[in-house]
Chain A
């Protein structure tokens, strides 16, 4: 399953961290089993999910994509040029990809930066097994949020606006692996970004612009072939283009391949690019998260708080 593979990777990071300190001399004998991290992590993830569901403001943020996709599906009537496929289906697949992209690269970094600023990361650092549990909980939260809103988007558009759904087990399988690999490509990367961004206010500004740019240039909301070739080439470096393409292959009929730049779904390339981003993400996230946790201390937190308060005073 998606969740297992993702959190499994993260736990390796956590365990490596623990082994590192345990190996050092001078520690005490009692060692806590890894099971405790998982238990605390799942408890924590469950509680955070409950908080998310109880918070209308934050929930509506995640539902915006679903609503926009619904509106688009209802109002767009023409077909993808050169095919019999409704344009709305292409846009819905694009929004589905953007939704995963957004959870990993906008929501997650924001959560990480905010919680670091408020001191949650420091408190967990000061708690035995706190950091592994934190990472497990965050993975759980992100995976459930992403998969939940994806399912909601597909179900809602299918019900209300005759939206696309996978046809047959092959398409469902494609949907599953593209979703999994897509999350693996963006979640560690998002964690790495969250570990280095300065504070929640600047973080939003820094992430929003590039992601919006990618939304437009990745062929998520209209066929990428409309764009100049250099723009297509730049967008092809980033995961969103491939996530959208992979999801189109799962949701759209094969006849729609005619509108793809290569005339085919290029699934091996989808897998390759997303895997490459997943590897890059993990290679960046593990040291950066470790560094972020290591640098947390009371004085840093106070300094940030003072800065935030001054910034707030200036703004008001």
Chain B
């Protein structure tokens, strides 16, 4: 899973390369005396799928809501699609899509009715029927929103989020409550939006597998600071976590050893062995290892050990 991704095939839009879709510098947030964000720096580029990870209370929601224009930051600079979110007008709003996890609104509306209605607010909306097909709700078009299953409801939220052809899409825990197949379909949809239409996606999730699967880059937010940022592979490498090698010796005992250099260990094992090594397994550090490592480092209070990682640019 942590193999490096191929270089993105999307061409950079001419002239737009210099200006990221989301740019934040030194964003802080304080509620009363409590500092929630201690200077967030972010650059998210067009067509990028960017995942924001972090434990509860790390400031993820605050960060995203500042970028969405729903919350006023205490200080720092933010530009989203070229505007300050606190002053975003209707045209700016129309370029942003939002999918939140706890939406239960418009329960009495019918699925197609709701989607068609929300299409009227946008200058160049997607075709509602085609969109229902895209999220697999064609069969539910005439159904009342109230009667949808949890997963169907979320897919309707996704459809509502992209009906206005947003250039930037915020996804908040989008696949909570999805079955594996629906989750897979959803991942394909997000990839398609990003790869084919150049939609920029900011994803917040607790699902590390999802982040690894979808995100071009991941930022880890712990204690109101970005602790690490990079591609999933970079993050895994950067964490000081060691790879684990497991094998079964000739006498049948199971062995496991942690090492910085698993390749060398395997090579040495083979030199000592008389034949194939039973049960040989190399487990590379995963995103989860990196994540836990980051979170624990915060718990230990070893804040200072961040070697230039806090710059998510």
- Complex: A98 Cα to B228 Cα, angstroms: 62
Say whether A305 contacts B102, CB under 8 Å: yes
A159-B120 Cα distance, complex, nearest whole Å:
43
The 8 Å CB contact of A26, one of B82, B90, B104, is B82
* Contact of A2 with B by CB under 8 A: no
In this complex, the member of B102, B117, B118 whose beta carbon has the largest number of chain A beta carbons within 10 angstroms is: B102
**How many positions in chain B have a CB within 8 Å of any CB in the partner chain?**
43
**Inter-subunit contact B93/A126 (CB<8 Å):** yes
- 1/0 per residue, CB under 8 A from B, across A125-142: the answer is 111111001000000000
Complex interface: chain A residues within 8 A of B284 (CB): none
Chain B residues with Cβ under 8 A from A36's Cβ? 120-121
Is residue B194 contacting chain A, with contact meaning CB distance below 8 A? Answer: no
B61 at the interface (CB under 8 A from A): yes
Q: Are B87 and A21 in contact (CB under 8 A)?
A: yes
Report B-chain residues with C-beta under 8 Å of the C-beta of A43. Answer: 117, 120
Flag whether B71 is at the interface (Cβ < 8 A): yes
Q: Given contacts A298-B65, A301-B103, is CB(A39)–CB(B91) below 8 Å?
A: no
Q: Which residues of B contact A298 (CB under 8 A)?
A: 61, 64-65, 68, 70, 98, 100-102, 172
Interface of chain B: mostly helix, strand, loop or mixed: loop
Tell me whether B107 is interfacial, beta carbon within 8 Å.
yes
User: Would you call B244 an interface residue if the criterion is a C-beta within 8 Å of the partner chain's C-beta atoms?
Assistant: no
Instruction: Choose among A24, A39, A122, A302 the residue that contacts B89 (Cβ–Cβ < 8 A).
Output: A24
Q: Which of A276-316 contact B (CB under 8 A)?
A: 296-299, 301-302, 305
The interface residues of chain A lying within 8 Å CB-to-CB of B82 are: 26, 28
Question: Min CB distance, A307 to chain B, in Å?
Answer: 12
A59 contacts partner chain B, Cβ-Cβ < 8 Å: no
A115, closest chain B residue (CB):
B105
Query: Chain A 16-34, CB within 8 Å of chain B: the 1/0 string?
Result: 0010011011111111100
* Residues in chain A near residue B87, CB distance under 8 A: 21, 24-27
Q: Do the beta carbons of A55 and B91 come within 8 Å of each other?
A: no
Closest 10 CB pairs of A and B: A120-B105, A27-B89, A24-B87, A297-B70, A128-B90, A128-B94, A30-B91, A26-B83, A118-B105, A119-B105
Interface residues of B (CB under 8 A from A): 61-62, 64-65, 68, 70-71, 79, 81-84, 87-96, 98, 100-109, 113, 117-118, 120-123, 160, 164, 172
Using A26-B83, A32-B90, A118-B103 as known contacts, list a sample of 9 further A-B pairs with CB atoms less than 8 Å apart, ordered by residue number in A. Answer: A27-B88, A36-B121, A40-B117, A47-B117, A119-B100, A120-B105, A297-B71, A301-B102, A305-B104
